[in-house]
Amino acid sequence: MSASKTFDPNSAQNLIEIEKQFAVKAVEHAQTYWNLLEKVPPKELRLTKIDDEIFEDTFKTFPELAEADHAKLRKLDEEAMKSPEGKERWRVFIEAYRKKVKDYNFGSLIRTDARQEYGEKNTIFVTRMQFYAIEIARNRLGLNDDAHELAKAEAAKEKAQKEKDAAAAAKKKK
């Protein structure tokens, strides 16, 4: 039976709501991760209970990520990841973690360039397992060190602005 014959238009609104909820979860996950990058040196971050296994398996499955000073890990090639061959390689990798990693196939946002923060032009949608594979490797190899410093600087700037605003508000009350 084709999808068009089983589609119930009365439940379409529910599907849209579910998609919105997944999008909200993906954004919350990205914000949480960015906050972690601000507070914890990336080499000290543990994202799962099996980071070591994921790290080793990532480079065994995708040896090209280790080439040229990890350039393909530092700056992701979305077209290669989402090509038919790329999709199949990632599908096999992801399925190996079905029973090992909670929410392994949930959607996540990832930065295409490890040196930059999340933004419209630096973010793509991937599965949670792809996120773990890439970010565990980036953290261990020091590729997220620039992002860590950037996140810390942004947090310090925000804190200084809040203090300035609070001082200005207190001055107005006098």
**Any idea which fold 20-167 has?**
yst0336 like fold (1.10.3560)
Answer yes or no: pTM beyond 0.85: no
Give dist(CA 91, CA 83) in Å, integer: 12
Is residue 108 within 8 Å of 34, Cβ to Cβ? Answer: no
The domain ranges of the chain are 20-167
Which tens digits make up the pLDDT trace of 86-140? 999 999 999 999 999 999 999 999 999 999 999 999 999 999 999 999 999 999 9
Nearest to 136 by CA among 54, 57, 37, 81: 54
| pLDDT bracket for residue 17 (50, 70, 90) | confident
pLDDT at 13 over 80: no
pLDDT at 39 over 80: yes
| pLDDT bracket for residue 4 (50, 70, 90) | very low
